Amino acid sequence: MTRPKAIKSTLALLLSTLTVLCLFGDVKAGNLEYFGTPRGLYLSKSTGFLDTSGHWAEISIARVSAMGIMQGDGSRFFPQRPVSREEALATLARLAGFDPSRAAGKRGSGATDFQASAWAVPYLELALQMGFLDRSESSVDFKTPALRQEVFAWTAKALKLSPQSAGDALLFEDSGDIDRQKLPYIASLAKKGIIGGWGGKLYPLNSMTRAELAALVDRIKGEEAFRLTVFRGIINSIEKAGALELAFSVKTDEGPVYDIKVTQGLTDFPVLKDKKRYASGILKKGDYVEVLAKENEVIYAEIASYSTRKISGQLSMIGKGQLYIKDERGNTVFLELPEFPEVFVDGRKARLSDLLPGIDVTAWAVNGKVSRIEAAVTSETFSPAYEDQEALLNFPLEGTVKEIKEDGGTYKLILSTKDGEKEVSISKLDTVLKEGLKVTPESLELGDKVTIYPDNKEKSLRVEVAKGGKISRIVKGKIAGQAGEEYLIVSDVKEFYYGLFKDVKDMLKVRLRGAEAFSERGITDIGKLAAEYKGKDVYLALTDEGGVSRAVKAVVKSGDEYLDNGFIEKVRWSTGEIYVGELEMLMDEGTIAVAGSSSVRPEYLKEKGGVFVIANKSSSGSKAVLIYQPRFLEPELKVVKGQIYDIEKGSIILRYRSELEESLWSSERKSSESLEICDDAVIIDATASSPKVISRDELLWDRYEEKYFGKSAYILLEAGKVRAMVIKEGARSDDVISLGTFAGFTAEGYVKLEDMLDFNQFSEKWNRSLKSLELNKTGAIILEGARPVNFDDLKKGQVLYVIRENNNCLLVFVQK
């Protein structure tokens, strides 16, 4: 390099350095900077609109106007004027940051052939590119008013929300008016809480007004898809940063301090106070502000109210930016969690990662956001040495226990979760909490709802079983009143019994603590159930707590009642539709779903399985109130029947074999499979008039005598091995599957079965007429699970699942 060139390069470097120092020499170390804009200066000079004062959407209109997303005509906004389709799409495009002046010459997505104004074409092209407008909509006139359901669907797509089951949208009385193609997108908005309707209705076919669009934009502006930054805090200083520059220092709720700078006469940002718009000069030290920014430019600031809150209770969970605390009344309170809250454990400074679920905490929140957490722990729950604790708390796994496998002291749990099935291993060294008590993994049951906090290798550290997972009964009655704050009084009580309702008592007192309540309007405050729905019918899923009935879920009747049973013929999880028998219903979070005796999410139910259902039909459609999938046999058990073809050393072969699947016998098929016989198998020879118990060895000896060859056998298999067997004469086509309630014994020793239902092998349904029958138990095997028991041990009221031939019992299963 020549000397003149070297000097020029050095001078250029020095000038660049001086320029940087001049520009940023007064920046406070560690403070992030935001700036006002020329556009903000222009917007801050507007004083608002004459026709929005006192309007229900006044503050939303002020916000979107301050953002420059929606403007009025002079001094008027015309809040009740219908918004056109092109205006609605343009508003969403502006929220996404689109500036048509910067997109000149970048056409090509094909919106020019749309029926739209020339000014709107660039916005429609962007909507097509971003996917919230579909080419199939090109035939509509975009200059005409937009329907509410159209704008909702476009909004969901703009937010990149995944289509959801129709359940949340079905809470609206007029959900039947929603276009089927738009329903999953509207459901996603409803589930996220973005739309709520009025008076239980969504009015999807009404035109959307400018005020409604402003309110919608206001609700979604902070969503991740639009890449806007929102921070809140207190202005702790206002200082001059130069001759014309002013810096507002904001101590944010998250902890960091941000500086907002404006230059007099050149840049500024609008400030909202009491729903009116001002320039930044209105701000003063001590104001609590909410600031909306894009990249490093402030869009607007709003002077907000300042409130504090103190919550004490048990830490339930920390995850996804939320702190969950179960307060002293048993209610779960969730608070927004900043990145750097102050944390103290037993008076010592600690980290967020040092907190474990189950410990006692007190949290202080400023405007709903946690600023300080104090915890008191013991050595049993405080584990600061665990390196991966932070990851543990951020990623809890929630699901329903579908299968439990024990292998050498390790228990593998198959969980049904929202993300599909997942396998997690736990050992006896891990903590399992059930009903607030520490138990062993053996105490976990199928259907238990659990939350597991796994380490990186998916070995569980802590398993918490949700309370109220077991359902003892389903009842229906009229809401008669409330006893104190905790109990609901229900009259004219009827109990659900396999597709029917039976009268049980005049009045029932139900504990409400921890229950969920739903009405036709959606989720309802359980504490206001009696006040708002007195005299209405209500369905209650109850669990037994020490002899006291506690509600797990309450659903207020919302239409004509229909009951049916049968196999699930079809399920559309995307829309929440389910087809059973003559009923086509829609499921949502208000549906009571029970598998066996466990309260589960509907998706945990076995597809194609047998169910009993209750539906409420109204003008808005048919809603599934209850889907009950009984478990007459434990999962590892199977009943088969067939003709004894051969007896081998330790096993038996059935030639024509049929399996009982969901109370339905499969077609007979030829089989050569050997069924191993357990050493302690219970075997009854019912081929003669006086049945007798025979041993395993006696049966196996028959391979030489062959007196049982060709006889019919009904067999209970446990893990593929013969646990119980009844051998009989005759065919196997005359048996009946029945359900009934044990009512005692006759003088002759017959079993009295009341409230009996039979399963029809042709219609594949349970009948719906109750009857009574006296059954001969001689030659029958009765079991609890796979364990044989005595008939004499039965208690009145127990439900029996019976395989019988005429009045003769063969296999009887006591239901839990």
Task: Quickly list DSSP for 350-411.
Answer: --GGG--TTSEEEEEEETTEEEEEEEE--TTT--TT-TTHHHHHH--EEEEEEEEEEETTEE
Tell me the per-residue pLDDT of 276-326, one tens digit each, with 9 for 90 and over: 899 999 999 988 999 999 989 999 999 987 667 788 888 888 876 788 888
pLDDT grade, residue 394 (50/70/90)? very low
Pairing of strands 674-686, 721-728: parallel
Contacts of residue 17, Cβ cutoff 8 Å, sequence gap at least 6: none
pLDDT at position 13 over 60: no
Q: How many CA atoms lie within 13 A of 159 on its CB side?
A: 22
**pLDDT higher for 409 or 468?**
409
Q: What is the pLDDT of residue 260?
A: 95
Transcribe 762-806 into DSSP letters: TTTEE-S--EEEEEB-TT-EEEETTEE--GGG--TT-EEEEEEET
> Stretch 209-231: mean pLDDT, rounded?
91
- The upper half-sphere exposure of residue 230, i.e. CA atoms within 13 Å in the direction of its Cβ, equals 12
Residue 255 tokens read as: 């902890």
Q: Is the pLDDT of residue 389 over 90?
A: no
User: Averaged over 182-188, what is the pLDDT?
Assistant: 90
Instruction: Give the C-alpha distances (Å, rounded to integers) separating 580 from 233, 520, 547, 633.
Output: 54, 22, 34, 22
For residue 488, what pLDDT band results from cuts at 50, 70 and 90? very high
Q: Is 359 within 8 Å of 367 (Cβ atoms)?
A: no
Distance CA 378, CA 380 (A): 5
pLDDT of residue 15: 40
pLDDT at 101 over 80: no
Rounded CA separation 593/606 (Å)? 11
Query: Which residues are paired to 298 by β-bridges?
Result: 293
Q: Tell me how far apart the terminal alpha carbons of the chain are, to the nearest angstrom.
A: 93
Token look-up 């104190």 returns: 484
Over 90: is that where the pLDDT of 198 sits? no
Residue 549 pairs in a beta bridge with 544
- Give kind and range of the element (H or E) at residue 187: helix 183-192
Burial of 763: CB neighbours in 10 Å, binned 0-12, 13-18, 19+? exposed
* Nearest alpha carbon to residue 740 among 767, 713, 778: 767
Q: What is the pLDDT of residue 307?
A: 66
Give the SS3 label for residue 308: strand
Residue with tokens 């003008």: 619
As given in the structure block, the two tokens for residue 90 are 């343009």
Three-class DSSP category at 704: helix
Question: How far is the C-alpha of 90 from the C-alpha of 209, rounded, in Å?
Answer: 15
- Tell me: the pLDDT tens digits for 605-662? 888 899 999 999 988 789 999 999 999 998 889 999 999 999 998 999 998 899 999 9
DSSP letters, 437-499, are EEE-GGG--TT-EEEEEE-TT-BEEEEEEPTT-B--EEEEEEEEEEETTTEEEEEEEEEEETT
What is the rounded distance in angstroms from the CA atom of residue 502 to the CA atom of residue 513? 26
Helix (H) or strand (E) segment spanning residue 754:
strand 751-760
What are phi and psi for residue 150, nearest 5 degrees?
-65, -45
Longest CA–CA separation in the chain, Å: 124
pLDDT, tens digit (0-9, with 9 covering 90-100), for 109-143: 566 678 889 899 999 988 898 888 888 888 889 99
Chain mean pLDDT for the chain: 84
- Nearest residue to 552 (alpha-carbon basis) of 472, 646, 654, 641: 472
Strands of 484-590, DSSP E: 487-497, 500-511, 516-519, 522-524, 537-545, 548-556, 560-572, 577-580, 583-586
- Residue matched to tokens 């902890």: 255
Q: Which strands sit side by side in the sheet containing 410-417, from one edge to the other?
A: 420-427, 410-417, 397-407, 449-454, 460-465, 431-434, 437-439
Per-residue burial over 153-163, b if 16 or more Cβ lie within 10 Å, else e, is bbbbbbbebeb
Rounded CA separation 464/392 (Å): 14
Most confident of 26-40, 221-235, 260-274, 419-433: 260-274
Taking a C-beta distance cutoff of 8 angstroms, is the pair 125, 111 a contact? yes
Spatial CA neighbour of 772 closest among 754, 748, 745, 749: 754
